[in-house]
Amino acid sequence: MNSSRRLLILDDSVTQAMQLRLLCEGKGWEVRCARSVKAALAEADRFTPDLIVADEYVVGIEREEFLDAVAARVSSRTAVLMMTEDESTDEYSFREFEGRIAKSSESRILLNRIGEMLAATSAPKMVADPKFRGSRVMAIDDSPTHLEFLAGELRSYGFIVSKASSGAEGLQRLSEESFDCVLVDLIMPGMDGIEVCQRINQTRRLQIDPLGIIMLTSQEGREDMMRGIEAGADDFVGKSSDTSVLKARIQALLRRNLFEREHRRVVEELRSKELEALRAKAEAESAEVRARLAGELTLANQELECSNRKLKMTQMHLVQSEKMASLGQLVAGIAHEINNPLAFVLNHLFTIENALASAAPEVAASVSGAACAKFQKARVRLDEMREGLDRMKDLVSNLRTFSRLDEGDLKTIDLHENIDSVLRLLQYKLQDRIEVEKRYGHLPPIDCYAGQLNQVMMNLIANAVDAIENQGKIVISTRAGEGEVLVSIRDTGSGIPEGIQNRIFDPFFTTKPVGSGTGLGLAISYQIVQAHGGMIEVRSRAGEGSEFTIRIPQKVKLAAHETETVSA
């Protein structure tokens, strides 16, 4: 099938439409049918036919509206062939690409006429600028022939055209409907074009949207042109001119009117903004005066309150600094005094353990069973003594770290590896009751004191483990921020009561039972992170677990004296 030629048949008779469809499809044309004007227009929008064969009876008195809709909505290259009951109408109308043929015509004649119409639609045709397509134009002319020809030409360019056969009829239509442009014949009986232009010009001054007026004449004399311009016409075109010239003049006039509307809109918008700015300026000045007159006392009070807050903050910082300095000196002295005898006891304990271990075979062979049991019990007690001494050693290390007695080495590390190493060390505490979920993001290497940062991770993870009594879960998340890395340690433990959250970083403060904690873990961790230029944030609610978030810069510059890495 030759799908390049498309036909749409508009006929309410299914039998006649089917007969015509079979004839056309026999010629290789693609055919669709519709039974109403509404259905035909909808089908034409989807199908885009080259020719619409319409029953004039179905179209009815809305013939002009139907042709305008086809020209405006479907395609500028779509032709219409009207099938009429009157055999004398077998000729083309004034409207371009519109034909008429009698229903009683033979099939051969009907197919020839359809072929002619299809051939005519393939010829190139000028179309209107898309932005002016659908513009409403009224033509006023006392010549029915020229009026019909002019309306047909303008419709073929995409304009919606109304016709008036006299000046009075044209003025009446203008008072009832809205148009973008009006074409007025200069010479008409009764009311000529000059009087029509004068009356239109008087009324359009009151209109918001300008109406373009083009005077049409067959003489094109200078005197007539001046009379038309003085009467209010915007342009003067001879009837003998090519219709493409008229189309160009209409588009130019519409373009000018469009520019005037846009210019008026911009001017109104600028004027509105200017008035709004002046109003806002006046209100601001008035508010400023009121604020200056009524707010001087308030400003003084605010300055006083601000000074008081700064003074309290300064005092608090000074007290805290003195407190930490004094405490550091005290802790350093205690740690030093304990460390020497502790080392002495540990060394001798090591010697005793080795001696007893070497003598164990001889004792077992030479003494009685009861004496041997006492010997073994003494060795067990020595092991318990070592466990207690190791705890004292850890306590001393914590005290020395808190007092900043030792330093570490600045290194570039992969933080994920350090966290994994801490988890391996704490595996004995996790056992099978606590699930650890790692949500690692992409982290760049960071510069830090690795041992100290390990101690922070050790303290926070160990505290999370201790907070979970039975089964639970610990989630460790990491991500990179702007110039910093963030580590979050969240547990499903018992949580921290709100009333003591502001004390958890104080030295020696602990919620653990006596003998289970020293109260230095979080204090040392806070001190280490702060020395790295970072911070620790905590979010917790009793019974719902806790979350500690550590923020550490990627590049860290530490002071010359820092804390030593010790286990939690």
**What residue type is 552 in one-letter code?**
I
pLDDT confidence of 355, banded at 50, 70, 90? confident
pTM above 0.95, yes or no: no
From residue 157, alpha-carbon distances to 135, 244, 262 in Å are 10, 9, 24
Does pLDDT of 408 surpass 60? no
- Look at residue 303 in the predicted model and tell me its pLDDT: 83
Residue 525: predicted pLDDT: 82
DSSP state of 7: E
Per-domain boundaries in the chain: 1-125, 126-294, 319-402, 410-553
pLDDT at 562: 42
Average pLDDT over residues 33-42: 89
Q: Which CATH number fits domain 410-553: 3.40.50.2300, 3.40.50.1580, 3.30.565.10, 3.40.50.300?
A: 3.30.565.10
Do the domains 1-125 and 410-553 sit in the same CATH topology, yes or no?
Answer: no
Confirm if 160 and 135 have CB atoms less than 8 A apart.
yes
Q: What is the pLDDT of residue 1?
A: 40
CA distance 301 to 311: 15
Residue type, 161: V
Point out the least confidently predicted range of 128-137, 189-198, 487-496. Answer: 128-137
Q: What is the third-level CATH fold of 126-294?
A: Rossmann fold (3.40.50)
Structure confidence by residue, pLDDT tens digits, 93-147: 445 567 888 888 888 888 888 888 887 766 544 444 555 667 889 999 988 888 8
Mean pLDDT on 154-173: 87
Element (H, E) at 257: helix 243-294
Query: How many angstroms separate the CA atoms of 468 and 107, rounded?
Result: 96
Mean pLDDT of 239-261: 77
Closest CA to 444 of 410, 489, 487, 483: 483
What whole-number distance in Å separates Cα of residue 458 and Cα of residue 565? 10
Give me the pLDDT at residue 87, please: 59
Using DSSP, state whether 198 is helix, strand or coil.
helix
For residue 565, name the pLDDT band (cuts at 50, 70, 90).
very low
CA distance readout (Å), 264 to 136, 206, 314: 21, 14, 63
CB atoms under 10 Å from CB of 1, counted, come to 9
User: What HEC string does 133-147 produce?
Assistant: CCCEEEEECCCHHHH
- Three-class DSSP category at 497: coil
What the block records as the tokens of 525 is 């961790």
Of the candidate ranges 311-320, 368-377, 490-499, the one whose mean pLDDT is the lowest: 311-320
Quote the CA–CA distance of 108 and 24 in Å, as a whole number.
Answer: 11
237-241, 294-298, 449-453, 464-468: the lowest-pLDDT one: 237-241
Beta carbons of 507 and 395 less than 8 angstroms apart: no
Residues ≥6 apart with Cβ < 8 Å to 66:
37, 41, 54, 59, 80
Among 84, 70, 79, residue whose Cα is nearest residue 115: 79
CATH code: domain 1-125 is: 3.40.50.2300
The pLDDT tens digits for 364-394 are 778 777 888 888 888 888 888 887 887 777 6
